[in-house]
Amino acid sequence: MAIFSGLKREEKEAIGLLQVGTFLEYFDLMLYVHMAVLLNELFFPKTDAHTAALLSAFAFCSTYVLRPLGALIFGYIGDNIGRKTTVIITTMMMSISCIIMATLPTYAQIGITAAWAVTLCRIIQGISSMGEIIGAEIYLTEMTKPPASYQIVSLISCAARLGTMVALGVSTAVLTIGVEWRIAFWIGAAVAVIGSIARGRLRETPEFLKHQQNKKPRSAQINKDPSIEGSSIETTSLDSTNKTPFKTVVAYFFISSGPPACLYFSYMYFVPLLKSMGFNSEFIVRQNFFLSIIELLAVIIIIYLSKKIHPLKIVKYRSTLYLLLITVFPLMIYLNQDYYFIFFIQSLSVIFTLTAVPAVPIFIKHFPVLRRFTYTSLIYALSRAVIYVITSFGLVYFTEWFGHLGVYFILIPITAGVLWGVNYFEKFEDMPKQLLLKNIAF
């Protein structure tokens, strides 16, 4: 591929190892998420429909609510020990949690202990995935340069979606063919161990090593060097204080809030509706598998387009289209509840989903190198924790009170926040270098 031209052999190897690791990590993480229709019945007590919806939301959110703690832990490790260490540790954590879940007795066997144990495993998986994807994106951002970095870093998101798709494929096999579900978790544990061992071949990024060895302010050097590119001015100037403007943090938080809201709406929101239409769990998982294929293809197209269109413009155009679509989705559901029409709505949602891809390297470069892992992972974790709680629990009540129009109260504000965040970063990209330095360095 053209995007790999000019890269050294070890750089290409690192890209491959990180993609494989992210694929394995998200295969393990999403395996439970998309088998929840079956596993929640095995590990949680049977209750009425409303309580079951709340329990399902609780099990889903448990993966994300403690991610900020994981962000602090892995942020410290990533910024003080190295990016390589974090991606190895997180893969091993995922493996251990999969082993536990593969051997865990069900609720019928040990009662409520099963519910607490599976929730704890989900928390461990959520924390480990926190360090995984951020670590991989930072590693590749620091190892490559624009414009190639736009496509290379986006491959991590592509690998995550591929892992999700394969997890859905395995879930479909478990639910339709009758494959033992525990085998899937054993496979996930095995591949996670292999992935962590393979990642031992990675080397630390030169940018991180350079800044770690020399933590003294370099602002004087920056002002004398007019050849420094605009994309690195903010990073270097910020390294003298390790501070980031508050508006930058808020803008990145809003942008990071889009994917979790869209994921829940696209895959989880329609489950009760489909069940009320007479479709069983096996059918719903299979449908989600087809949706994951569509989403993966959409990401691949976006990566290709980023070679011709600036990444921030792609994110902005997609977010604008999603805002227009979300205003009509509830009305479309009211007018037609045919299965194929519902699938059409879900497909549009995953195609135009709110995501930072392919502009991730641009956002990451706006944070100082020696605090980059902490900043980005904590913002990522907080956005997931907050938005998944708001979305999963909020939609239970908003749709109960307002029907499908309740979607407006969640998705419209989040989409507007994403658009504001993108506009904020666009100003920095268009700003002349000296003015950019003055604004960021205060």
Identify the pLDDT of residue 229.
Answer: 40
Rounded Cα distance, 221 and 314, in Å: 34
**Residue 415 near residue 326 (C-beta atoms within 8 A):** yes
pTM recorded for the entire structure: 0.79
- Both tokens assigned to 242: 């390790």
**Residue 362 near residue 429 (C-beta atoms within 8 A):** yes
- The DSSP letter of residue 227 is T
Residues 6+ apart with CB under 8 A from 238: 244, 367, 368, 440, 441
Domain ranges of the chain: 7-200+219-440
The residue type of 365 is K
Three-state SS string across 89-118, please? HHHHHHHHHHHHHHHCCCHHHHCHHHHHHH
Please name the residue ranges forming H helices in 336-407. 339-351, 360-364, 372-402
Residues of the chain with pLDDT under 50: 217-238, 240, 434-438, 440-442
Rounded Cα distance, 34 and 315, in Å: 27
Cis peptide before 206 (omega within 30 of 0): no
Identify the pLDDT of residue 232.
Answer: 39
Rounded Cα distance, 207 and 56, in Å: 43
Rounded Cα distance, 398 and 421, in Å: 26
- Residue (of 12, 100, 59) closest to 268 by Cα position: 59
Per the CATH hierarchy, to which homologous superfamily does domain 7-200+219-440 belong?
Answer: MFS general substrate transporter like domains (1.20.1250.20)
- Both tokens assigned to 231: 């994309």
Identify the pLDDT of residue 296.
Answer: 93
- Both tokens assigned to 187: 């496979």
Residues 6+ apart with CB under 8 A from 39: 32, 118, 181
